[in-house]
Amino acid sequence: MSNYNGFKSSIASLRVAGAHAPPSKNADDLKAAVASTELPASPPDSDASSDVDSARKVGGDGATWAGLKEEKTESWTVDWDGSFKFAPIKEHIVSRAMSSRYGKDQYETAISDIVIVGAGSAGLSAAYAIAKERPDLKVTIIEAAVAPGGGAWVGGQLQSAMVVRKPGHFFLDELNVPYEDEGDYVVVKHAGIFTASCLAAVLKFPNVKLYNATAVEDLISRPDPLSKVPDARRIAGVVVNYTLVTLAHGLQSCMDPQTITAPVVMSFAGHDGPFGAFSVKRLVSTGLVESLGDMRTLDMRQAEDFIVNNTREVVPGLVTGGMELAELDGSSRMGASFAAMMVSGIKAAKIAIKMYDSYEIEDGEVVGWAGVGKKLAAAKISA
């Protein structure tokens, strides 16, 4: 029988400690064992009597991390010789700081101007383009994974470098992402530089909210007031739930979702993974689209131009691009060349802004064409 006692979590260690501890002969032996045990190093006791507000008022701005400057205030200390001390905190303060902001975000984004499904390279590029050009629009991003970025954290076959064909390099310049210029294409030394830079830039916009670890379970649809076709419908938002809940629906009887209403939905759910191409698959299952074209084999020369040129509003209210579009249209896959993902997102952003500006919107729902109501009202007044 093996006596291996390698790595365990602290909780697991506590649970099995009794089974592995050698029997003690007497109380004196137990006391001696405890006395000889080396306790883990602990920081000086923190005074948790004050709350976050008082800590914020006391805390100064004298510490500079880059210069490793030592500094001491009434609530915290920068000391690299063993007396480092954080400002005071209590557990409930952390919980309230998070939940109050998350609840406020959910309240405010329940009606959004534009919802983006998927925070991969195409979705993040679209979010950046919209948020920068139109700071007045409320952009909400839904990402099923805990870590946004999709497959853009690595290049092909899990290798590091990211290849971007020109003129996609202009977006790298916009984000200040360094690269090696190889003529017709450029190479970023690690794909994570692009993804981290784009993600950070997007999240800094005050008009953007990202819900990661959140899955789109369904689409909202409404009768289309802009269509002359009887019974025509348009996409009017998304149905969301925590990803872990979505994946566990088979284990529980009912775990209802939430909804986000928006006049424009953009979907970049990719072609792989448990949530791949979700929106276009749902369009087919509901009859809004007849069938999927199914993505074809790899043809890098043809695929990237096709994806950008065909990024579009596929049904009223829903714009699709990136590799989700390849599943809808049956285009070739492109492999580890990322320019089309970025540029498809940027083109989709331009389309989404035009769509939004063309609508008359009430409580996040499209009720007509922009300006039509005002013209009709003016005509009635003049009559």
Q: What length is written for the chain?
A: 383
| Cα(61)–Cα(71) distance, integer angstroms | 9
Contact 322, 345 (CB under 8 A): yes
| Cα(145)–Cα(216) distance, integer angstroms | 11
Q: Does residue 26 surpass a pLDDT of 80?
A: no
Which one has a higher pLDDT value, 100 or 381? Answer: 100
Which one has a higher pLDDT value, 177 or 5? Answer: 177
| Pairing status of strand 77-78 against strand 312-315 | unpaired
CA-wise closest residue to 144 among 219, 238, 243: 243
| pLDDT value for 12 | 39
Q: Does residue 262 surpass a pLDDT of 90?
A: yes
Q: Does residue 18 surpass a pLDDT of 90?
A: no
CA-wise closest residue to 238 among 263, 255, 273: 263
Burial of 214 (0-12, 13-18, 19+ CB in 10 A): buried
Could you tell me what percent of the chain has a pLDDT over 90?
69
- Rounded to the nearest 5°, which phi and psi values hold at 105? -60, -45
Which one has a higher pLDDT value, 163 or 381? Answer: 163
- Tell me, what amino acid is at 248? A
- Could you tell me how far CA 52 lies from the centroid of its own chain? 28
| Cα(183)–Cα(165) distance, integer angstroms | 9
| Cα(360)–Cα(371) distance, integer angstroms | 7
Average pLDDT for the chain: 85
- What is the dotted CATH code of the domain comprising 114-359? 3.50.50.60
| pLDDT value for 3 | 52
Residues 6+ apart with CB under 8 A from 172: 164, 179, 186, 188, 194
Lowest mean pLDDT among 64-68, 94-98, 292-296: 64-68
pLDDT, tens only, 43-94 = 445 454 444 444 333 334 544 555 556 777 889 998 888 999 999 999 999 9
- Three-state secondary structure readout of the chain: CCCCCCCCCHHHHHHHHHHHCCCCCCHHHHHHHHHHCCCCCCCCCCCCCCCHHHHHHHCCCCCCCCCCCCEECCCCEECCCCCCECCCCCHHHHHHHHHHHHHHHHHHHCECCEEEECCCHHHHHHHHHHHHHCCCCCEEEECCCCCCCCCCCCCHHHCCCEEEECCCHHHHHHCCCCCEECCCEEEECCHHHHHHHHHHHHHHCCCEEEECCEEEEEEEEEECCCCCCCCCEEEEEEEEEEHHHHHCHHHCCCCCCEEEECCEEEECCCCCCCCCCHHHHHHHHCCCCCCCCCCEEECHHHHHHHHHHHCEEEECCEEECHHHHHHHHCCEECCCECHHHHHHHHHHHHHHHHHHHHEEEECCEEEEECCHHHHHHHHHHHC
| pLDDT value for 27 | 56
pLDDT band at residue 251 under the 50/70/90 scheme: confident
| Cα(84)–Cα(20) distance, integer angstroms | 36
Q: Does residue 329 surpass a pLDDT of 80?
A: yes
pLDDT, tens only, 153-211 = 999 899 999 999 999 999 999 999 999 999 999 999 999 999 999 999 999 999 999 99
pLDDT band at residue 373 under the 50/70/90 scheme: low
Domains in the chain: boundaries: 114-359
